[in-house]
């Protein structure tokens, strides 16, 4: 099992060189555009939409970024104006517990069924 030990050691060095939260924000602006839903063409993000509203919204986001507002500050500003609907990324709050958790429950439930089929619960 020496071999695995080496692998583990190398793996360790590997991951220590990777910063976990190094989401690079070169294109923060585009990321924000893609996460805002257009109120005029309601099926699209303002990134995909060319409506007047979307164009103005892009300018507003750009302006706020230049003023040094963070991504979340921009979201909460717009959410105050237009409601949570405008954000494509639903927040984790009492409205969305089910949304976020239900898929995981399904996954766990599936695991149980599979373990049963593999005979794990049989004595």
Per-position b or e across 80-94, b if 16+ CB within 10 A of its CB: eeeeeebbeeeeeee
- Give the separation between CA 32 and CA 61, rounded to whole angstroms: 8
Minimum Å gap between C-beta 7 and another protein is 6
Q: Could you tell me if residue 119 is left (phi over 0), alpha (psi between -120 and 50 degrees) or otherwise beta?
A: left
Please pick, from the candidates 43, 68, 72, 123, the single residue that binds another protein as defined by CB under 8 A. Answer: 43
- 70: contact with another protein by CB under 8 A: no
Minimum Å gap between C-beta 14 and another protein is 7
- 40: contact with another protein by CB under 8 A: yes
Single out the residue of 115, 108, 39, 25 nearest to residue 72, CA to CA: 25
Total number of residues that touch another protein (CB under 8 A): 64
∠ at Cα 80 (51, 60), nearest 5°? 40
* DSSP class of 80: H
| Closer Cβ to another protein, 68 or 89, answer by number | 89
Please pick, from the candidates 9, 53, 70, 73, the single residue that binds another protein as defined by CB under 8 A. Answer: 53
**Interaction site with another protein (CB under 8 A):** 3-4, 7, 10-11, 14-15, 18-20, 22-24, 30, 34-35, 37, 39-45, 47-48, 50, 52-53, 55-57, 59-60, 63, 77, 80-90, 95-96, 98-100, 102-103, 106-107, 110-111, 113-114, 117-119, 122
């Amino acid at each position: 099992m020496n071999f695995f030990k080496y692998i583990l050691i190398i793996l360790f060095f590997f991951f220590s060189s990777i910063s976990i939260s190094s989401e690079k924000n070169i294109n923060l602006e585009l990321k924000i555009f893609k996460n805002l839903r257009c109120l005029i063409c309601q099926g699209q993000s303002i990134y995909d939409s060319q409506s007047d509203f979307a164009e103005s919204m892009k300018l507003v986001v750009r302006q706020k970024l230049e003023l040094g507002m963070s991504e979340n500050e921009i979201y909460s500003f717009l959410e105050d104006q237009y409601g949570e609907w405008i954000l494509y990324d639903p927040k984790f709050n009492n409205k969305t517990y089910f949304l976020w958790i239900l898929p995981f429950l399904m996954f766990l439930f599936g695991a149980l069924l599979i373990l049963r089929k593999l005979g794990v619960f049989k004595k």
